[in-house]
Structure 1
Amino acid sequence: MLELIQTSGYSGTGLNAVIEHASAPKGSIYFHFPDGKEGLGVAAVELAAERFAELITQAAAASGGPGAAVRTAIEALTAIVAEGDFRLGCPVSVVTLEMGAESERLRQACATAFDAWIAPTAALLASSGLDADAARSLATVVVSTIEGAVILSRATRSTQPLESAAEVVAELVEQRCRAAEAGR
């Protein structure tokens, strides 16, 4: 379901397509997801949240500071978008845009997913000297910018929006962290 949402959107992904894509018997889908497509959509959003949270954690562990971590995470997303021929986008933003006003359950799953990305980013920023409120605010800007850059990259079939986001956001993060360090 996750892969199909990335390429076809939530509305464009029917259960029959999921069953075919997964090579699974129809009964197993309903056994594991008795509430049908909505339950499967929630599970897909949760999986996307886990995967991106892992990406953030890995970038933070492998990089030399929060600016480098942000750049590393965006570079990894850039590779995913480019290697997917600009067909793969963020399934959470797709579900939010398509279903956020229609299904409270899906909207809440998307809000939780975004928070699962903002919270560890904020923790990384806070560990670099920003106070909790400033760290949360900047983390929200980082995630929002990445989401927008993915959409623009898909629309323009170019990695330039993501590359620009990596450069500017990493610089902003470094400036804010240096300013917090100087203010201590």
Structure 2
Amino acid sequence: MVGTKGAETSARLVESMLELIQRHGYAGTGLNAVVEHADAPKGSLYFHFPEGKEALGAKAVELAAARFGALVTDAAADLTPGESVRRVLEVLGGMLADSDYTLGCPVSVVTLEMGAHNDRLRKACADAFESWIAPLADLLVAHGRPRPAARRTATAVVSMVEGAVIVSRARRSTEPLRDAADLLAPLLDAGTPS
């Protein structure tokens, strides 16, 4: 029972860190705010994350990677690569609009803020991006693309999606995400068997 309660507290701390990074950035997220947001006992943070903010930040990036990875996997079911990317961009656009353009990609935020200063967080972000690139490359291979071309294309798609999210936030509009979908879908489906 204690293990379950401890796991729940740890999960709440990671979830809170993720949400606060999305809203305020990594640097703008203090540990006291995380503990308060998670409604966790003050001592629980260092009990679960003895290495402090860096360890908690890495876990938040892992959680974001897993959630986006699940979105990509779900979107790929029974769809062409272009349809899958269009579906992912529609979901991201909905999330941005629903948050009034306050939630960004925590992985890109942590990369931009800490990637040059903290190797642990940079690696967590690189692993997160890879967890999105690899399944898209696999989907492209399954639809007839050679592996090296599929990998390059998947990397470019993830890069474009990240940029479209940032521009959408700046403009407070989902139009950049729609533009990306309109450009990417036919490119990804070109030569794909029906």
Give me the TM-score of the superposition, normalised by structure 1.
0.94
Show the counterpart of 2:152. 137
Distance 1:149 1:137 in 2: 18
Gaps of 5+ in 2: 1-16
- Counterpart secondary structure, 1:98: helix
How far is 1:65 from its partner? 1.1
**Equivalent pairs, count:** 177
> Which blocks of at least 5 consecutive residues in structure 1 are unaligned?
none
Cα displacement string for residues 13-46 of structure 1 (whole angstroms, at most 9, x for unaligned residues): 0000101110111111111100000000000000
| Residue 26 (structure 1) aligns with | 42
Give the TM-score taking structure 2 as reference length. 0.89
Pairing partner for 1:50 from 41, 66, 69:
66
Please name the residue that 2:164 is paired with: 149
2:24 to 4, 8, 18: 8
- CA RMSD of the aligned region, Å? 0.9
Once residues 112 and 186 of structure 2 are traced to their aligned partners in structure 1, the CA distance between those partners, rounded to angstroms, is 29
Query: In the aligned structure 2, how far is the partner of 1:166 from the partner of 1:32?
Result: 40
Whole-Å Cα distance in 1 between the matches of residues 97 and 147 of structure 2? 34
Offset at residue 64 of structure 1 (A): 2.6
The amino acid that maps onto 1:133 is P
Are 1:78 and 2:93 matched, yes or no?
yes
**Deviations, residues 99-155 of structure 1 (Å, cap 9, x unaligned):** 001100000000000000000000000000000000001001110010000000000
